[in-house]
Amino acid sequence: MLAQLIVSGLVNGSVYAVVALGMTVLYRSTTVVNFCHGEFFMLGAFAILVSQQVLGWSYTASILFALILLMLFGSLVERLLMRPLQNAPHISLAMMTIALSYLFKGISRFFYGREVVPLEPLVDGGPIELGSVILLPQDLLVAGSSLLIVLGFFYFFQKTQAGKVIQAASQTPRGAALVGINVPRFQNFMWGASAALGAVAGILIAPSTLVYPDMGAHMLIQAFAAMTLGGFGSLPGAVLGALTLGVLENLIGGYVSSSLVEITAYLAIIVVLVVRPQGLLGEWRQGRG
């Protein structure tokens, strides 16, 4: 039972990792904490739903459509709504992302109301037994894709020229601008990439949960919890925190009480911020926030 709980916790945690990574990347590059990231996650799932069930496209085509759409969405949000406010107080920036979060939720609720819609699984097949642990092919796909995405991100940031430019621009935007890096364009790209990461998580999780307008709200808090656990703003911390949270939720649900699962994330946030605000891996700095 313990092994099963840990393994399925890691599967859940890997989805949190993709969401938390998307938020951390944006936070690192723009110092904006995006309260509408949960809605990017929700819109990813809805994009699949609409292209499959309304337009009748195949899974592959819908996934491509969702990713491109959300990438476009993210950069439009940056260009039209966030950039004009870049010199505004930080409360205004936070309020803008909060407004967007409700706007997206309202739009999807306007069309889907209180419906909860199921999606077909991404892969078929019976459960796979590995010793005492039973996994669905869907779980393996989710964990595998998340792992690939996370590794790809780290490779991009640490090893490629473009990744290093991005790191430079997020450390000192002004310095980067002085040596000729187009900082606004890079921030625009990061909004797109972050939205696409949110969409990936939505696409991965939608078949095993259901699709509904409020699905992003809880995920946002789980991503916050993952980031806080790992250390706010640290990329490896976000991944580690997400996996820890996934396992923690399952252990508490399995051994203590299943009604505590939904508040594990809240408790984690409160305990970590009060006891060890820098989290597991983070360097503690009172940022611009």
Please give the residue ranges that form the binding site for other proteins (CB under 8 A): 33, 81, 84-85, 88-92, 94-96, 98-103, 105-111, 113-114, 213, 217, 221, 224-225, 228, 232, 259, 262-263, 265-267, 269-270, 273-274, 277, 286-289
Helix, strand, or coil (residue 51): helix
Nearer to other proteins, 1 or 274 (CB): 274
User: In DSSP terms, which residues pair with 182 in a beta bridge?
Assistant: none
Nearer to other proteins, 90 or 164 (CB): 90
Helix, strand, or coil (residue 7): helix
Torsion of Cα atoms, 156 then 160 then 162 then 168, to 10°: 90
Q: What is the smallest separation between the CB atom of 22 and other proteins, expressed in angstroms? A: 16
User: What values do phi and psi take at 212, rounded to 5?
Assistant: -155, 155
Q: What is the smallest separation between the CB atom of 167 and other proteins, expressed in angstroms? A: 21
H-helix or E-strand spanning residue 130: strand 128-130
Q: What is the smallest separation between the CB atom of 83 and other proteins, expressed in angstroms? A: 12
Q: Closest Cα partner for 111 from 157, 23, 59, 50?
A: 50
Q: What is the smallest separation between the CB atom of 13 and other proteins, expressed in angstroms? A: 18
Q: What is the smallest separation between the CB atom of 49 and other proteins, expressed in angstroms? A: 16
Nearer to other proteins, 155 or 266 (CB): 266
Tell me 113's DSSP state: T
Helix locations, the chain, DSSP H: 2-30, 37-53, 59-76, 90-112, 137-159, 161-171, 173-178, 183-205, 215-230, 235-255, 261-275
Nearer to other proteins, 105 or 246 (CB): 105
Nearer to other proteins, 62 or 228 (CB): 228
